[in-house]
Structure 1
Amino acid sequence: MSHKRIPKRNAAIAVGGVAALGAAAFLLPNANASQDAAAGAGAPRTLKAADASDLSAKLQRQLGDALAGSYYDSGKQQLVVNVVSGDDNVIVQAQKAGAAVRKVDNTTSALQAAARTLKTEASIPGTSWAVDPRTNKVQVTADSSVTGARWDRLESTVQNLGSGMATLKKSAGAFKTFASGGDAIFSQAEGGTVRCSLGFNVTASDGSPAFLTAGHCGVAAKDWADSQGGQPVATVDQAKFPGNDFSLVKYDDATTQAPSEVNVGNGQTVQIKQAADATVGATVFRMGSTTGLHDGTVTGLDATVNFQSETDPNGVDTVTGLIQTDVCAEAGDSGGSLFTQDGNALGLTSGGSGDCTNGGETFFQPVTAALQATGATLGDGGQAGAGDQNGAGDQQAGGDGAGGTADPSASASDPSGAGAAGDDQSGAGDASGSGDASGSGDMSGSGADDGSAVTGSN
């Protein structure tokens, strides 16, 4: 079997294939903490989202479970930390560090105990839960498939946690993994073609070029190509699903040059500088060829999602430790990159409910956890410019991958003006289906070169 390098165009697009971001979405306030130097010691500092994330991590290390969560107030540009009433020492330390302090009732240990109860008593397909630091409660969501006795069981479990401990809401859609689309990579599995998205280029622990994508893609198929029906160019090295949802896929050609960047269209790229942890309340961006570019906010961390298993009609595929957001996604976006305006890699698209017409929830595998588990590193995985094959049919994905400074010119919510990946978004995948992508085999359909999705059960 012959191998080929991923060309400059495809390597750049494959990192995320992001359409040009609109000024309103991309050029967010860029406040500096030093602006508050005159505000006096102890006053909440004005912070960029990335700096708020760093401060949150620092306080978590220092104060541990004495904190009951934190979130970023984007309006005030402050980190807000929750502290249980009466713990004056913790309040003083948090304020001295520059955080705004909010007194709450539920401790971290109490919220974690509630989540454990849900896991024991309500691991029902179509449910999810995550701690919401803005409400100081566990946010429980049930999709449209949770009805009858299952709904009664879930509702009873939530009520038994106590009125101030958890909230329960219904989602109009159904939780499913989003196998197919993003900046497309393809594989042949039993039943047809599987299509997923490359998330971020990385360097494997042995120094070889590789990329991260969704775990349910990696367990569905082993060999991946950059064009539908093309020769494989990469092989799954590690894959984890369920439990987690990440795969490390190594390029077959060790000389493949895989730059650490995201293509933002018009021949311009955004450098991906590092992996970072998400912060509740922060603005984030997600890209997929099915739906184009969309932005939103992080709404929860360490989320648990119970997908209906496709391999076992009575089973459930539970994934934990996910980032919960209100960014929309649809079938065709699995594995795609979640990132910040500052070039921080946050997550890999896992699954969710809803669509980009009516909204919904989307969950992401944290990149930091994937890197730690696989031993890979994220950064400059090589210089662009390897080869000149057309690969995945040019993808019409926001430019040719050539360098340049980003010039955001199109709205994040409407990437059509920027040559978004998958310009032909009609018929962009049947959003029904869920669970283990090994059940995603029926994904044959229209060719990848025109950007249209391969329809199928996922």
Structure 2
Amino acid sequence: MPKRKAAIAVGGVAALGAAAFLLPMANASQNGASGDTSAAGPKVLKASDASDLASQLQKLLGDALAGSYYDSNSKQLVVNLVSGDNNVILQAKKAGAAVRQVQNSTAELQAAAKTLKAKATVPGTAWALDPRTNKVVVTADSTVTGAKWDRVESTVKSLGSNMATLKKSAGKFTTKVSGGDAIFSQVQNGTVRCSLGFNVTAKDGSPAFLTAGHCGVAAKDWSDSETGQPIATVDQATFPGNGDFSLVKYNDAQTQAPSEVNAGNGQTVQITQAQDATVGETVFRMGSTTGLHNGQVTGLDATVNFQSETDPGGVDTVNGLIQTNVCAEAGDSGGSLFTQDGGAVGLTSGGSGDCTAGGETFFQPVTAALQATGATLGDGGAGAGAGAGAGDQAGGDAVGGSADPSASAGDQAGAGDQSGAGDGTGAGDQSGATADPSATAGDQSGADQSGADQSGADQSGNQSGSGDQSGNGDQSGSNNQSGNGSAGTESH
């Protein structure tokens, strides 16, 4: 098999707004990122620098730190402290953070989450730690009614209004099978479609990419076109449980998988690192169904309870996710979530709503997926260190780092030309061709998945989309996926 480059599918016209916002800002710098640590006031920081500072303070302050978040208006990192110790407060301020004292420690919030798991694990529910309110925010989708709602509500009330809050989501939590570039697999019940997340190098040095775990559970062999031959094979897949991620190795060891994301209109963004999400920061998502969209991180360490597709009375629970209000739809599963300055943050898992009405969405943290699989971002060669990898591109949203106008949209990462051939994206196999902004999101169908409520902090659980996720072929959000034009194609 000849050496090949993976290509990325471009999103629909709806992605242009996010791209316009992203690209002009990609090279912008912010003052104060490297200020004097002895300064009295908090530093002005970029979101990526705030994330780094949050990690440093976690190690420095230990149990005294009860979470942190990025204030996008003041461009400052705000840290929650449960200790009134002047020395601890001074250390945080000296490091450049804004400080506020709160009532609930991280350990207490995690204990509340354990109570919810034991007493309120109901399909269609999700909860996440929200450092802005210093509470656990619980979300119940439209399927949680009657006795199920009473069960969740009573559990939340038992924790106390100062510890947890409950909100209702108008949508239904499902997995979003698409993401960046479209990838396809033929299964017994038809075709499954997902999105490529980020190109990586596997532990053994072979080229690979990351996508959603429910996609890897649904099918083993993946192609870059609906009727094409498989070009990659699932090596590891986790779903449900502690994550929603898959490592998929390219069958051709010579496949070039650059660490970049296709932002549309011939623009690519270099992915330079994997980074943890910070509540309050702006992130971008690229998916084969809906293209490029942006929003904010609203919660961390989210737990989502999807209705099991394999067991009508069962629940597929996924832990450790990122909650956002970035929209998504069927077929976006596995697609890349990244920052403006090139940080690979997450892989699309699920949620509720769509890109018309909004909703909540959840993402698998990239840092945890890399740690679990032993993979590293980039192609291990020319693109190594660029962190994101072909996969990123997958989502034309490539929002991440500075956009590189000279890069060709097509090469971006993905599995083969995954461009979404057949998916209706219109990008065809974009393999290297300039992204076509007029392409329709086509298959993406799955409208209701994307997040109707996504806007909200609750998005966390919605997404998961109950059954969809489960990897069974139709995780895509039931048959919304139909978008590809092929009645049998399921979008995740």
What is the TM-score normalised by the length of structure 2? 0.81
**What corresponds to 1:145 in structure 2?**
143
The corresponding residue for 1:102 is 100
1:214-293 → structure 2 map (5 Å cutoff): 214-243=212-241, 244-293=243-292
C-alpha deviation, 1:447, in angstroms: 8.3
For 2:325, the equivalent position in structure 1 comes to: 326
Any conservation in 2 of the 1:12–1:259 contact (CA below 8 Å)? no
Contact 2:76 2:98 in 1 (8 A): yes
8 Å CA contact 2:44–2:74 kept in 1: the answer is yes
Aligned CA distance change for structure 1 residues 326 and 257 (closer, same or farther; 3 Å): same
Structure 1 distance, partners of 2:443, 2:258, is: 31
Q: Tell me which residue corresponds to 1:178.
A: 176
- Give, in angstroms, the shift of residue 36 of structure 1: 5.1
Q: Which residue of 4, 10, 13 corresponds with 2:8?
A: 13
1:187 corresponds to: 185
Match for residue 423 of structure 1 among 440, 464, 475: 440
Tell me the CA shift for residue 292 of structure 1: 2.0
Task: Check whether the contact 1:248–1:374 (CA below 8 A) recurs between aligned residues.
Answer: yes
**For 1:434, what is the secondary structure of its paired residue?**
helix
Query: Matches of 1:427 and 1:204 in 2, distance apart?
Result: 29
Q: For residues 254-285 of structure 1, what are the alpha-carbon distances to aligned partners after superposition, in whole Å with 9 as ceiling and x for unaligned?
A: 00111111112222211111111111000000
Deviation, 1:130, is: 0.6
The answer as to 2:64 corresponding to 1:70 is no
Give the Å deviation of 1:403.
10
User: 2:403 matched to which residue of 1?
Assistant: none
TM-aligned CA distance change 1:26 to 1:135, over 3 Å = farther
Structure 2 regions of 5+ residues with no counterpart? 383-410, 450-466
Flag the 1:17–1:98 CA change in 2: closer, same or farther, 3 A: farther
**Distance in 2 of aligned mates of 1:371 and 1:17:** 29
What's 1:201 paired with? 199
State how far apart, in whole Å, the 2-side matches of 1:431 and 1:75 are: 31
Cα distance, 1:200–1:80 mapped onto 2, change above 3 Å: same
Partner of 2:326, secondary structure, is coil
SS in 1 for 2:468: coil
Partner of residue 53, structure 1 = 51
Which of the numbers 81, 84, 89 marks the counterpart of 2:79?
81
CA deviations over 1:141-163 (Å, ceiling 9, x no partner): 00000000000000000000011
Distance 1:456 1:378, change over 3 A: closer
What residue number does 2:117 align with?
Answer: 119
Amino acid at match of 2:281: A
SS of the residue aligned with 1:13?
coil
Partner of 2:454: none
Question: What letter matches 2:436 in structure 1?
Answer: G
Name 2:160's counterpart in structure 1. 162
Tell me the residue number matched to 2:300.
301
Counterpart code for 1:425: G
Does structure 1 conserve the Cα–Cα contact (< 8 Å) formed by 2:329 and 2:354? yes
Q: Which residue number corresponds to residue 375 of structure 1? A: 374
Amino acid at match of 1:248: L
Q: Match of 1:229, as an amino acid?
A: T
- Distance in 2 (CA, whole Å) between partners of 1:15 and 1:248 is 22
Measured at CA, do residues 96 and 179 of structure 1 come closer, stay the same or move farther in structure 2, by a change above 3 Å?
same
For the Cα contact (< 8 Å) 1:422–1:453, is it kept in 2? no
CA distance in 2, matches of 1:128, 1:88: 36
Is the contact between residue 183 and residue 418 of structure 2 (CA under 8 Å) also seen in structure 1? no
Structure 2 distance, partners of 1:41, 1:255, is 51
Matches within 5 A, 1:19-30: 21-28=18-25, 30=29
Q: For 1:16 and 1:292, how far apart are their aligned partners in 2?
A: 3
What is the identity, as a one-letter code, of the residue corresponding to 2:142?
Answer: S
**Structure 1 contact 143–170 (Cα < 8 Å) conserved:** yes
Instruction: Give yes or no for the alignment of 1:435 onto 2:469.
Output: yes
Counterpart of 2:119, as a letter, is E
Aligned partners of 1:322 and 1:363 also within 8 Å:
yes
> Contact between 2:9 and 2:429, CA under 8 Å: does it hold in 1?
no
8 Å Cα contact 1:17-1:398 kept in structure 2: no
What's the CA shift string for 1:397-416, capped at 9, x where partnerless?
49967699xxxxxxxxxxxx
Tell me how far 1:172 sits from its aligned partner.
0.4
Give the superposed CA RMSD.
3.0
SS at match of 2:110: helix
Deviation at 1:189, TM superposition (A): 1.3
Q: Higher mean Cα deviation, 423-432 or 149-158?
A: 423-432
Note the C-alpha offset of 1:87: 3.0
Preserved CA contact (<8 Å) 1:14 1:198: no
In 2, Cα distance between equivalents of 1:235 and 1:424: 26
Q: Deviations over 1:6-32 (max 9, x none)?
A: x43xx1416999966544344446313
> How many Å apart are 1:289 and its aligned residue?
2.4
- Secondary structure of the equivalent of 2:284? strand
Are residues 338 and 391 of structure 1, via their aligned partners in 2, closer, same or farther at CA, if it must alter by over 3 Å? closer
Change in Cα spacing, 1:252 to 1:35, as seen in structure 2 (3 Å) is closer
Structure 1 distance, partners of 2:481, 2:121, is 34
Q: Kindly provide the amino acid, as one letter, of the partner of residue 266 in structure 1.
A: N
More displaced stretch, 258-267 vs 329-338: 258-267
The CA deviation string for residues 42-61 of structure 1, in whole angstroms up to 9 with x for no partner, is 31001000000000000001
Does the aligned pair in 1 maintain the 2:125–2:139 contact within 8 Å? yes
How many equivalent residue pairs? 435
Distance change >3 Å, CA 172–CA 422, structure 1 → 2: farther
1:443 is displaced (CA, Å) by 6.5
* Aligned counterpart, 1:414: none
Distance 1:218 1:355, change over 3 A: same
Give me the identity figure in percent: 70
Contact in 1 for aligned 2:446/2:481 (Cα 8 Å): no
Please give the alpha-carbon distance, in whole angstroms, between the structure 1 residues aligned to 2:307 and 2:412.
42
Helix, strand or coil for the counterpart of 1:323?
strand
Alpha-carbon distance change, 391 to 126 in structure 1, aligned in 2, over 3 angstroms: closer
Q: Secondary structure at the match of 1:116?
A: helix
Task: Check the 8 A contact 1:266/1:400 in 2, yes or no.
Answer: no
Rounded to whole Å, the distance in 2 between the matches of 1:16 and 1:368 is 25
Post-superposition Cα deviations, 1:402-446, rounded to whole Å, max 9, x if no partner, equal: 699xxxxxxxxxxxxx73495153771364753312141786987
Indicate how the Cα distance of structure 1 residues 434 and 281 shifts in structure 2: closer, same or farther if over 3 A, else same. Answer: same
